[in-house]
Chain A
């Protein structure tokens, strides 16, 4: 018997349309003389926006996840990458992506749409190598610019944000603008850039505000739903339509909280996850919901797209406030974007697992989680870095933690039966009883 009232999200259909249009726009960009670029989900996508309104991108991580969701297609792409000589333990998104190029097949139909240039960022060992190789696989004549964001942790994890660190990133953005003009032979439009930069900042701020609403009991959004919504921040956070959509979504989720609308009617236990899920097996989330266990989110879904600051004094995670004024010049926008993104929660753990443990513990406590399930994700070295220390640190702080091993983008590395068995035991330790009416997954 459901304890809470539930209802579908009203903006769900709109989210689907926006996402479909995003990929369609990329494919058809050249039909009207537009440009296509490829890069990381964390790329400073506001910068190429200054090249014109007919410039579209494809970001590798969500594309890799989409490939992984279609298991037969993914198997084909992974095999193509392996046949080329790439190791099977490399990033699974990357291998799906390279495989898609090698197989000359686009996950959403048709031949692989080749990019005009690569524009990315680098913090994980694989980021720049991903597009270096993609440019080569796409024929070797695709120019590439990568911005290094490995400039150190953000306060409070460092005593201060040293100016030379922000400047390092901002100067690369400035260089990148000149480079974009050169490789596209287009005049750069600062007005478009300033608008996109502000869209980036407001969308990533708003996403954090939306996730704050998930502190409510019952939670208004389960994490499987969140996966379909956080994606706009990794598709193109500077996209005005996406930023506006987050404003609408915020209003709707707030309304759900006000009315006590639950994502899952029988919410009994709240848990949080970590790293990307095994995309081909999202049904494990629905399985847990049958027990009454709802994932309310994770540092991954909150912090990949959202901008937060860790409050050391109160052991809390709070949305980073919007800057007091919009940027007025190219230089200001580059500095503002650099500083804004260097505070990204998902960058901090690259420097020390303790930083991530603190932020995860803050989520566990403040979003009222009963347990934590860590995905030891063989598919992503960047988000699995330090995960074993996170486990130890979270247990030390009094959390109940379960782990399972898998791969976000390679189904061959996920053992469904063993994972379900682990989940059963873990949920029992959280005080739940296995439902007698469990349906087959």
Chain B
């Protein structure tokens, strides 16, 4: 199955990226948050790759990051401080949460690859003023990328970048459609490998593999009982080990589950929304997309717009329950979580809350998730 390729890329991201540089003689810029417009980087023929953590215990960030900030930002910074990304030509952060900002700025101070940029992505995305502001910021970013590459770009380069990223989003959504089936031919772990492998590879090399996967899924059948259908909601999540544990519970216990949909910035918040390709002004079209995409909770105000999309996912993917996941100390999500939990419960979706750290507490989580699944079973018995 071609999904194996996603896993290989995700697990060997540094080898892939080093090899990519060698093969193409191109430039790679690491980005820290999905509000960075990859379209513009592809327009410059620069490879944007997302910097994720390693989920390994580390001891290098303590002098740089006060311990009250989230484990994800510390894990990300550790990658930089340990020199794991020494092949990068630049780093960029789009304004999102304060946690990742520190990973970016400490990286900038101590491991600056020679090009770094902070993009003031607007926070007030529900304001009509956000789009013109963001267009102005994109114009500054383009000048900065001209410095990096020595190139100028045209609207047709931008349209090419839009086309690449829209193709990625389109095929991801098409693959997600298979997860709506009663017996999904792709499980949550494979889906997570699919979305996260795209962060670390050249979309132009990732796309043909994704298209193959899509074709294979049309006839694929998984020899397993999907069990309870789960929705994951919350902070940054590439917790493969956790999803693996959830989806193999049924092999060890009387009850099992499949993650059929997620609302994370590693999955649907990243890819669900397209850039409007018919817009004659590509920069405005890109800005519109990033302003109107499903927001990170740090930008989801004054209306809490995420809730309706989460509910739609829950219904469309016929979930039995939701696990709300939060990276420890993640303030934007912490401010939302009581309301997310209540909203889901009020809409008849049982929920369970888990707090994550750098490493996954698979053992304790296993017991807790199993108990949650049993409560879902009990509800089935009642009705």
Q: Which A residues fall within an 8 A CB radius of B?
A: 84-87, 89-91, 122-126, 128-130, 132-133, 135-136, 144-148, 150-152, 162, 164-165, 167-168, 171-172, 175, 350-354, 376, 378, 381-382, 384-389, 392
B-side contacts of A135, CB under 8 Å = 302
**Known interface pairs A162-B140, A384-B68, A388-B66; A129-B335 also in contact (CB < 8 Å):** yes
B-side contacts of A387, CB under 8 Å = 66
- Among A126, A175, A378, the residue within 8 A (CB) of B127 is A175
Q: Are the CB atoms of B335 and A150 closer together than 8 Å? A: no
A-side contacts of B71, CB under 8 Å = none
Is B133 an interface residue, CB under 8 A from the partner?
yes
Considering the complex, give the chain A residue whose CB is closest to the CB of B97: A125
A-side contacts of B26, CB under 8 Å = none
C-alpha gap A167/B98 in the complex (Å): 24
B-side contacts of A382, CB under 8 Å = 98
B-side contacts of A386, CB under 8 Å = 102, 105
Is B136 an interface residue, CB under 8 A from the partner?
yes
C-alpha gap A176/B95 in the complex (Å): 23
Is B370 an interface residue, CB under 8 A from the partner?
no
Is B106 an interface residue, CB under 8 A from the partner?
yes
Q: Are the CB atoms of A145 and B302 closer together than 8 Å? A: yes
Tell me the smallest distance from the CB of A244 to a CB of chain B, in Å. Answer: 33
Q: Are the CB atoms of B339 and A151 closer together than 8 Å? A: no
Is B208 an interface residue, CB under 8 A from the partner?
no
Q: Are the CB atoms of A132 and B120 closer together than 8 Å? A: no
A-side contacts of B337, CB under 8 Å = 85, 87
Q: Are the CB atoms of B63 and A392 closer together than 8 Å? A: yes
**Known interface pairs A388-B63, A389-B64; A148-B124 also in contact (CB < 8 Å):** yes
Q: Are the CB atoms of B105 and A150 closer together than 8 Å? A: no
Q: Are the CB atoms of B98 and A152 closer together than 8 Å? A: no
Within 8 A of A (CB), among B93-111: 95, 97-99, 101-102, 105-106, 108-109
C-alpha gap A129/B330 in the complex (Å): 13
Q: Are the CB atoms of B98 and A385 closer together than 8 Å? A: yes
**Known interface pairs A132-B301, A392-B64; A352-B105 also in contact (CB < 8 Å):** yes
Most chain B beta-carbon contacts within 10 A, residue among A89, A123, A144, A171: A89
Tell me the smallest distance from the CB of A352 to a CB of chain B, in Å. Answer: 5
Tell me the smallest distance from the CB of A87 to a CB of chain B, in Å. Answer: 4
Q: Could you list some 19 contacts between A and B, CB below 8 A?
A: A86-B335, A89-B331, A125-B332, A125-B335, A129-B298, A132-B301, A132-B302, A148-B123, A150-B123, A151-B120, A151-B122, A151-B133, A165-B133, A171-B129, A351-B101, A352-B108, A381-B99, A385-B102, A389-B109
Q: Are the CB atoms of A86 and B338 closer together than 8 Å? A: yes
Within 8 A of A (CB), among B64-97: 64-66, 68-69, 95, 97
- Among B65, B133, B137, the residue within 8 A (CB) of A388 is B65
Considering the complex, give the chain A residue whose CB is closest to the CB of B136: A164
Contact with A along B37-76 (1 / 0, CB 8 A): 0000000000000000000000000111110110000000
Most chain B beta-carbon contacts within 10 A, residue among A376, A387, A389: A389
C-alpha gap A385/B101 in the complex (Å): 8
C-alpha gap A403/B106 in the complex (Å): 19
B-side contacts of A126, CB under 8 Å = 331, 335
A-side contacts of B297, CB under 8 Å = 129
Q: Are the CB atoms of B66 and A384 closer together than 8 Å? A: yes
Tell me the smallest distance from the CB of A231 to a CB of chain B, in Å. Answer: 24
Q: Are the CB atoms of A350 and B101 closer together than 8 Å? A: yes
B-side contacts of A381, CB under 8 Å = 68-69, 98-99, 331
Is B336 an interface residue, CB under 8 A from the partner?
yes
18 new A-B contacts, CB < 8 A, other than A129-B336, A172-B127, A381-B69, are A87-B334, A89-B334, A91-B331, A122-B123, A122-B124, A125-B331, A125-B335, A128-B302, A129-B331, A129-B332, A130-B335, A145-B302, A146-B124, A151-B133, A168-B130, A175-B129, A378-B68, A389-B64
C-alpha gap A197/B108 in the complex (Å): 38
Considering the complex, give the chain B residue whose CB is closest to the CB of A86: B338
C-alpha gap A168/B20 in the complex (Å): 39
Q: Are the CB atoms of B122 and A148 closer together than 8 Å? A: yes
A-side contacts of B62, CB under 8 Å = 388
Considering the complex, give the chain A residue whose CB is closest to the CB of B95: A150
In order of increasing CB-CB distance, the 10 nearest A-B pairs are A164-B136, A85-B338, A148-B124, A129-B335, A168-B133, A87-B334, A128-B301, A152-B120, A148-B123, A144-B302
Is B341 an interface residue, CB under 8 A from the partner?
yes
Q: Are the CB atoms of A90 and B127 closer together than 8 Å? A: no
Tell me the smallest distance from the CB of A99 to a CB of chain B, in Å. Answer: 13
Considering the complex, give the chain B residue whose CB is closest to the CB of A124: B98
C-alpha gap A386/B109 in the complex (Å): 11
A-side contacts of B109, CB under 8 Å = 353-354, 389
A-side contacts of B137, CB under 8 Å = 164
C-alpha gap A105/B152 in the complex (Å): 61
Q: Are the CB atoms of A172 and B129 closer together than 8 Å? A: yes
Tell me the smallest distance from the CB of B340 to a CB of chain A, in Å. Answer: 10
**Known interface pairs A90-B335, A165-B136, A388-B66; A350-B98 also in contact (CB < 8 Å):** yes
Is B329 an interface residue, CB under 8 A from the partner?
yes
Contact with A along B117-138 (1 / 0, CB 8 A): 0101011100111101100110
Tell me the smallest distance from the CB of B46 to a CB of chain A, in Å. Answer: 22
**Known interface pairs A124-B98, A125-B97, A385-B101; A146-B335 also in contact (CB < 8 Å):** no
Within 8 A of A (CB), among B133-175: 133, 136-137, 140
Q: Are the CB atoms of B301 and A146 closer together than 8 Å? A: yes
Is B220 an interface residue, CB under 8 A from the partner?
no
Is B304 an interface residue, CB under 8 A from the partner?
yes
- Among B68, B108, B129, B130, the residue within 8 A (CB) of A89 is B68
Within 8 A of A (CB), among B184-209: none
C-alpha gap A86/B137 in the complex (Å): 35
C-alpha gap A281/B138 in the complex (Å): 47
**Known interface pairs A122-B124, A389-B105; A164-B133 also in contact (CB < 8 Å):** yes
A-side contacts of B302, CB under 8 Å = 128, 132, 135, 144-146
- Among A130, A353, A378, the residue within 8 A (CB) of B105 is A353
Considering the complex, give the chain B residue whose CB is closest to the CB of A164: B136
B-side contacts of A353, CB under 8 Å = 102, 105-106, 109
